[in-house]
Amino acid sequence: MSDTHLDTDVRGPGLASDVALSADSFVAPRATDSLRVDMRQTPGGVVGYEALPDHRLKLHAGAPVAGACQFHRFLYTRGDLDILPAGSADIWHEESPSTSVVVRMAPALLMRTADEMGLPAERAVLGERHQFRDPQIEHIAWALDAERRAGFPNGRLYTDSLGTALAVQLIAAGPQVAPSPAQGLTRLQLKRVTEFIEAHLDGDLSLAALAEVAGLSASHLKTQFKRSTGQAVHAYVVHRRVDRARSLLLNSELPASLVALESGFSHQSHMARCMRRVLGLTPGEVRRAA
């Protein structure tokens, strides 16, 4: 099946000039060095994708859509996935409007993740796949889309973590690999990482920066940090930011909007959501308790 639904420019190389390709629209994405999340909407008709240097993962996000490609007819439903490897192009026909979440991933991220997992480079090579289901990959793609729709309030650390998790799941779709023995961070590594988090709590922390502090790869840091603390890196940072916000609300007269920024939250409502989730209290309730 040659019918992957994924990218920015519908006019790929080699498409006939008389083919009327359907227009498409994107919600403005948030880009990082290795990951980009878009929402693509097409009105129906002939749709195509040009070859790009990134891998593309498409998650069907709208109503069911029937269509046909060179090889057969298809019906996409919410949650169906496609993979279009880097350098691949495609063209197909859809009978009605379609909405998809498209995740673009730099091959370097997949290669780096495979290397950090101790796997050979060939495990980081993706094959073209169409209309398949994978609960883990789907869950991560929805999480990335939710973060995009919210304006990326959780910062690079959260997006980096999701990108690494997605790379691990894509690699894991190949032959099974024996798990590495359980281990956590050394006492010195944990001290360095937690002190770095405290010192930069009001900034946009990234998984790569924390991994460098620990002297580990990003994927190893994620695994070993959770073994050492019982929390994922991002969850730990959120809890520390909530603790700082609570202290500032109780012990200062700063307005809640400044407390949010001083604690590393992107805005006041983001702080309120996290405080309700962690403490079961709103910022106003915390301040009144003082």
pLDDT means per 10 residues in the chain (290 residues)?
35 30 38 80 85 93 87 87 89 90 94 88 87 93 94 90 93 58 80 94 92 91 89 92 93 92 93 91 86
CA–CA dist 245, 236 (Å, integer)? 14
Can you tell me the distance from the alpha carbon of 192 to that of 61, in angstroms, rounded to the nearest whole number?
A: 41
- On whether both 112 and 60 belong to a single domain, the answer is yes
Nearest partner of 97 among 47, 147, 133, 44, judged by Cα: 44
Q: Is residue 57 part of a domain?
A: yes
11 found inside a domain = no
Same domain assignment for residues 214 and 275: no
In a domain, 211, yes or no: yes
Looking at residue 45, its pLDDT comes to: 87
Domain count, the chain: 3
Same domain, 201 and 100: no
The reply to whether 88 and 118 lie within a common domain is yes
Q: Are residues 86 and 141 in the same domain?
A: yes
pLDDT of residue 39: 93
User: Residue written as tokens 């869950």?
Assistant: 139
Do 221 and 233 meet the contact criterion of CB atoms below 8 Å apart? yes
Note whether residue 91 is domain-resident.
yes
Evaluated on CA atoms 221, 222, 224, 230, the torsion sign reads positive
Residues 134 and 186 in one domain: no
Phi, psi values for residue 52, rounded to 5°: -130, 160
The answer to whether residues 22 and 94 touch, using CB atoms and an 8 Å cutoff, is yes
Residues 62 and 131 in one domain: yes
Residue 249, domain CATH = 1.10.10.60
Within this chain, do residues 263 and 218 fall inside the same structural domain, yes or no? Answer: no
For residue 120, give its domain range: 25-149
**pLDDT at position 268, please?**
93
Together in a domain, 116 and 200: no
Domain endpoint, select from 149, 172, 199: 149
Element holding 102 (H helix, E strand): strand 98-105
Q: Quick check: is 168 in a domain?
A: no
| Cα–Cα distance for residue pair 79/84, rounded to 1 Å | 16
Predicted confidence at residue 135, as pLDDT, reads 93
Q: Enter the pTM of the model.
A: 0.67
Query: 141, 67 in Cβ contact below 8 A?
Result: no
Scored b (16 or more CB within 10 A) or e, 20-30 reads ebbebeeeebe
Q: Can you give the length of the chain in residues?
A: 290
What is the CATH classification number for the domain harbouring 92?
A: 2.60.120.10
Residue 255 burial (10 A CB sphere; 0-12, 13-18, 19+): exposed
Both 206 and 284 in one domain: the answer is no
Q: Distances from the Cα of 15 to the Cαs of 7, 90, 232, in angstroms?
A: 15, 9, 46
Contacts of 43 (CB under 8 A, 6+ apart): 22, 23, 97
The token duo for 203 is 């900034």
Distance in angstroms (rounded) separating the CA atoms of residues 262 and 251 = 14
Q: Are residues 126 and 188 both part of a single domain? A: no
54 with 142, same domain: the answer is: yes
At 71 the pLDDT is: 65
How far is Cα of residue 275 from the mean position of the Cα atoms in its chain?
23
Residue 166 lies in a domain: no
Check residue 29 and give its pLDDT. Answer: 42
Does residue 70 form part of some domain? yes
d(CA 70, CA 75): 15
What's the confidence (pLDDT) of residue 172? 85
Instruction: Note the maximum CA span of the chain.
Output: 71
Select from 109, 128, 149 the last residue of a domain. 149
Residue 222 lies in a domain: yes
123-154 burial, b if ≥16 CB within 10 A, otherwise e?
A: bbbbeebbeeebeebbebbebbbebbeeebeb
Amino acid at 136: Q
